[in-house]
Structure 1
Amino acid sequence: MRPHGQLSRLARVHWRVGVAGVLPLALLGLLLGQVLPDPAWQVPVFHFYLVSLVSFLALLLALAMTLAASQIDNVRVLFLALAFLGISSIFLVHALTTPGVLVPGANGWVGASARLSLLIGAVMLALSTLEAQPVIQRWILRHRGWIILAAFLLFALYGLVALVSAQGAPASMGSVSGSVTGHGGNHSSGYDAYSPVYGSVTDEAVAQTAAGTSQWRRVLGQVSSRLAGEPAGGLLAGVTLALLGVVGVHYWRAYGRWNGPLVRSMLLSTIFLFQAQVSMAVAPAWHLSWWEYHALLLAAFLTALAGLAREYGERGSLRGVVEGLLLRDTIQHLQREYVEVIAALCSAVEAKDVYTRGHSTRVATLAALIGQELGLPPERLRILYQAGLLHDIGKIGIPDAVLHKPARLTDEEFALIKQHPVRSHEIIRHVRSFAPIVPAVRWHHERLDGSGYPDGLAGDEIPLDARIMAAADVFDALTSLRPYRAPLSLEEALDVLDQEAGTRLDPECVSALRQVVAVRWPVETAATSLPLELEDQPVIA
């Protein structure tokens, strides 16, 4: 059971999430239903500065994520950076094309940019919740600098085109402002948030400026007005809401597993973005219900920045902050999640054998990295990590004289060693939460050709987790000092694994291990002066 203080804290957090998810939509409903007054407040200059502020806050998040993307080999960080960069850039165009500030009058770009900024952000945020195939990940990571540069140039080009095109918009707004300022409580005729006074330019309005406007500018103006109006605007809003729903579900699950400040703030920010899109889609332009979506965007990015700052204060590095957000591939997060009993059991095992000290942690880390390379989901990575920590727990019942024996083991002693997977199974099977790690723990010494132990499984009878654990276990055993031999070099150990790939070890697991060692595994095996003895001694991990 959780301590009372922790339960109270979780209750407070759940309450805040609930309020954030209900209150803005309830307020929007009261305004649109005329239960509360929904007056018009047409102040383009204030709109310009408010939207610019929102864009600046999104830019700060984009810079933080871009810096993190340069430090962490993870495509999800890159997509987070692109999400905030896209929102910041396109929403800034929304500010710059505000009618009556920098451009002469109503234009389609102001409405289209508002819709597109949230759509681009939602697409990238949704991609940041997915795990790409290893081949795709490696390609994206190799070209991430060019990808960020290309995105920046594309957004800049969009802004340039929008501003130049918007300069040809009709300058007069008086003919339509009365329809908004004279709003008398009936929203049915004003549900198009991008009415002519705000940004949805009719074909007639575009035609009025044909004499002094180039053809390409007229065409672009018509395209932007189509994006800002219906049915295209409604379609964009629907796609955006669906994608933000996916993102919200992801962070809700993440929040349930790891209640860190940044995870919590990203959940709240996603909720605010979702509600902002709803308000943008249904509220009449310039009315209080329409201003609500701007306030929600401001709240979204302030919340995200607050969570980022708080997480940074706890972790002390931007890398640590972002890794706390990436639940699928951060070994640091997996290390924080395992319960105290696992750490205690692991320490008890390693205290028995000085030669294998640190072995369980290295195997756990390597197994999780192999699983990541194979594209396994986050829950499987957690299972692999915990299984790696406990795979040798059964050695706690083996006499020290056998574990530390520097000479060849007798048949009886080796038979005793071969029982440690069964002993490990017997120890952990009584703990319900350890049930998912049982296959990897019991069968990590099984081999594809049936020559392994303790049950003589072969081929597909051996679960994937156990095959991954076998490759990680053998690799670490070969590269570690043992009482009967010196460690092999990385290349020597990999050569041994290559020889056994397809016969005793899973070739895909060995291939994934090679990728991990080449790119991410930080082991450096130093040569020793100890003689290499007993070359035919079975590898005992």
Structure 2
Amino acid sequence: MKNYSFVGPIIAMTLPLVLFLCLRFGLMTDPYLMNLKRHFYIVSAIASLSTIIAIAVGIAGKRLRNIKVSFLALSFISLALLFLLHGLSTPHLLLPETDLAGVAAQLSMLLATIWLWLSSLPSDNKLVELLSGRHKLLLPVWIVLMSIVVIIGMFFPHIIVPLYVQSFELAIIFITLLLNLITMFRYYQTYRFSRFPLQLAIVYITGWFMLTQIIMVTGETWRLSWWIYHYLLLASMIVMLIGLVKQYATKGTLISAMRALFTNDPFERITNSISPSVKDLVIATEKKDKYTVGHTFRVTMYALHLAEELQLKPEQLRVIAQGALVHDVGKINIPDDILNKPGKLSNEEREIIEQHPVSGYEMCRELGFMKEELSIIRSHHEKWDGSGYPDRLMGDEIDLLARIVAVADVYDALTSERSYRKAWSHNEAMNVLVEEKGKHFDPTCVDAWVSLCERNSSVYLYPSTAINDDTTGDLISTI
């Protein structure tokens, strides 16, 4: 499986940090570069870009009524307004030399970090729920508060500076670094599943925020090493804008992009993470077989639940989301009179049916699907005892993800109405899975599914009526 590593963000943090350390500790010349206009222009650019991001995200958040999108907007509002104060308080530009510029810069990092951290928390977090109750007022009230701080800072800097108590500086630094590290990890974990550009952008940004905080505290004002953090923040805003543009391109509208980024609905989680070509294949498959409408999505959801129960990695969950959705795509090539036949299939018809894993495999291989998704498509009808098809694989020879999808596929087939029988109830289907453990199915997968269903009945969504078939063996063989 392709390993989407942490190398990119690590390199993006390491290179400027090494440069800063070389300059700061005399390994490279660290000239004194006091340029008030350059400072003002860079800071103004950062504040302006942050404002654009905040407005774009804020509008989407208001229309979506999504608190986590609003948190994202609040983060960039905080950065924009306090960094504006940082720029306006550039010494000898509008104000005499004070500590206001440094205080404003550190507070901007702290507040932006807190809101960004909140955006990474689960929606059922108590703090998130508390703030959700004030969702409509949150953004306008915070803008007013930050604007007041800017105004007071410009006209009464002697009030703002003492509020930033120097004895708390170490605590503020620690909190900023810790929350950014947590946020970076959480967004990276979600990126590993959904691969959304904006999530990766936030991973880079939080890394640079940590580095910015370090340079702010340890750097010497106006030295070349000190200027690094300004360019890091400028790069952060540019990367965020690129992430927004790419996210917009994948979803068509900014609102759709934000909805996809923070959705908690399992159905949306699946559909948002798949490519348009996969969606087209799913639609084509379900149009072909009228009796399996919704089957692919249910199988995918069941498989994801089971994979999470088995504690698979996010990359593996993504593979399941892609592969399970098209596991039956080979049925497109099966004649309708065989696929939807109400009676028992002849041996010749069964041979044709059993070609669909290979047919789907060949089709998706030509479309550029990865090896792991292809193994689900080809091997979801293999059996633990080696009696399955098309390759007669046995036990661990069958890819784990295909074994997971096999359990989900059979469970949904049993509990769904077909042309040749009525649907089975949940309990009846579970009995079949247990009976076939070690024969048709991987015992570990069956045990995990049983445990999951006993603990949480909401994972199986479509229990139905009673058994109406000759034997369990015949029914299993028709799935």
Structure-2-length-normalised TM-score: 0.59
CA 1:252 to 1:445, structure 2 compared with 1: closer, same or farther past 3 Å?
closer
Cα-to-partner distance string for 1:38-61 (whole Å, 9 max, x where unaligned): 226399988996675365245225
Question: Which of 95, 108, 117 is 1:114 aligned to?
Answer: 108
Decide whether the 8 Å contact of 1:327 with 1:378 is kept in 2: no
Query: SS in structure 1 opposite 2:305?
Result: helix
Question: Which of 43, 57, 63 is 2:58 aligned to?
Answer: 63
Decide whether the 8 Å contact of 1:370 with 1:513 is kept in 2: no
Structure 1 residue 116, shift from structure 2 partner: 1.3
Decide whether the 8 Å contact of 2:382 with 2:393 is kept in 1: no
Query: SS in structure 1 opposite 2:36?
Result: coil
Equivalent residue number for residue 271 of structure 2? 332
Structure 2 CA distance for aligned equivalents of residues 319 and 62 of structure 1: 8
Query: SS in structure 2 opposite 1:38?
Result: coil
**Greater mean deviation of Cα atoms: 466-475 or 155-164:** 155-164
Q: How is 1:204-283 mapped onto 2 (pairs within 5 angstroms)?
A: 221=163, 224-228=165-169, 231-232=170-171, 234-236=173-175, 238-239=177-178, 242-243=181-182, 246=185, 262=198, 265-266=201-202, 269-270=205-206, 272-283=208-219
Equivalent residue number for residue 381 of structure 1? 317
Structure 1 residue 316, shift from structure 2 partner: 1.9
Decide whether the 8 Å contact of 2:43 with 2:84 is kept in 1: yes
Q: How is 1:408-419 mapped onto 2 (pairs within 5 angstroms)?
A: 408=344
CA 1:395 to 1:241, structure 2 compared with 1: closer, same or farther past 3 Å?
closer
Aligned residues: 437
Q: How is 1:83-232 mapped onto 2 (pairs within 5 angstroms)?
A: 83-89=72-78, 92-93=81-82, 95=84, 106=99, 110=104, 112-120=106-114, 123-124=117-118, 127=120, 145-146=132-133, 148=135, 171=158, 221=163, 224-228=165-169, 231-232=170-171
**Greater mean deviation of Cα atoms: 504-513 or 99-108:** 99-108
Cα-to-partner distance string for 1:489-526 (whole Å, 9 max, x where unaligned): xxx865765776877763345479963676xxxx9x9x
CA 1:424 to 1:494, structure 2 compared with 1: closer, same or farther past 3 Å?
farther
Equivalent residue number for residue 293 of structure 1? 229
CA 1:27 to 1:251, structure 2 compared with 1: closer, same or farther past 3 Å?
farther
Structure 2 CA distance for aligned equivalents of residues 396 and 86 of structure 1: 48
Decide whether the 8 Å contact of 1:408 with 1:484 is kept in 2: yes
Structure 2 CA distance for aligned equivalents of residues 355 and 62 of structure 1: 41
- For 1:335, the aligned partner's letter is I
CA 1:464 to 1:303, structure 2 compared with 1: closer, same or farther past 3 Å?
closer
Structure 2 CA distance for aligned equivalents of residues 57 and 227 of structure 1: 32
**Which structure has the larger Rg?**
1
| Structure 2: segments with no counterpart, 5+ residues | 1-6, 437-445
Structure 1 CA distance for aligned equivalents of residues 232 and 410 of structure 2: 51
Query: SS in structure 2 opposite 1:538?
Result: helix
Decide whether the 8 Å contact of 2:181 with 2:207 is kept in 1: no
Structure 1 CA distance for aligned equivalents of residues 63 and 403 of structure 2: 34
Q: Give me the CA root mean square deviation.
A: 6.4
Cα-to-partner distance string for 1:99-131 (whole Å, 9 max, x where unaligned): 697999646953551341354256447x46xxx
Question: Which of 509, 515, 518 is 2:458 aligned to?
Answer: 515
Structure 1 residue 538, shift from structure 2 partner: 2.6
Structure 2 CA distance for aligned equivalents of residues 168 and 272 of structure 1: 31
Decide whether the 8 Å contact of 2:303 with 2:320 is kept in 1: yes
CA 1:443 to 1:387, structure 2 compared with 1: closer, same or farther past 3 Å?
same
Structure 1 CA distance for aligned equivalents of residues 249 and 353 of structure 2: 48
2:301 equivalent to 1:366? yes
CA 1:508 to 1:246, structure 2 compared with 1: closer, same or farther past 3 Å?
same
Equivalent residue number for residue 316 of structure 1? 252
Structure 2 CA distance for aligned equivalents of residues 284 and 119 of structure 1: 23
Q: How is 1:381-400 mapped onto 2 (pairs within 5 angstroms)?
A: 381-389=317-325, 391-392=327-328
- For 1:224, the aligned partner's letter is V
- For 1:379, the aligned partner's letter is E
Decide whether the 8 Å contact of 1:69 with 1:81 is kept in 2: no
Equivalent residue number for residue 82 of structure 1? 71
| Structure 1: segments with no counterpart, 5+ residues | 1-13, 72-76, 173-197, 202-220, 526-531
Decide whether the 8 Å contact of 1:349 with 1:393 is kept in 2: yes
- For 1:316, the aligned partner's letter is G
Structure 2 CA distance for aligned equivalents of residues 508 and 150 of structure 1: 44
Q: How is 1:492-507 mapped onto 2 (pairs within 5 angstroms)?
A: 506-507=449-450
Equivalent residue number for residue 407 of structure 2? 470
Query: SS in structure 1 opposite 2:343?
Result: coil
Structure 2 CA distance for aligned equivalents of residues 292 and 426 of structure 1: 51
Structure 1 residue 379, shift from structure 2 partner: 1.9
Structure 1 residue 234, shift from structure 2 partner: 5.0
Structure-1-length-normalised TM-score: 0.54
Structure 2 CA distance for aligned equivalents of residues 349 and 156 of structure 1: 50
CA 1:245 to 1:96, structure 2 compared with 1: closer, same or farther past 3 Å?
same
CA 1:343 to 1:360, structure 2 compared with 1: closer, same or farther past 3 Å?
farther
Cα-to-partner distance string for 1:185-223 (whole Å, 9 max, x where unaligned): xxxxxxxxxxxxx95x6xxxxxxxxxxxxxxxxxxx3x6
Structure 2 CA distance for aligned equivalents of residues 250 and 394 of structure 1: 33
Cα-to-partner distance string for 1:258-306 (whole Å, 9 max, x where unaligned): 5x76467556645654553343233334666545534532442244234
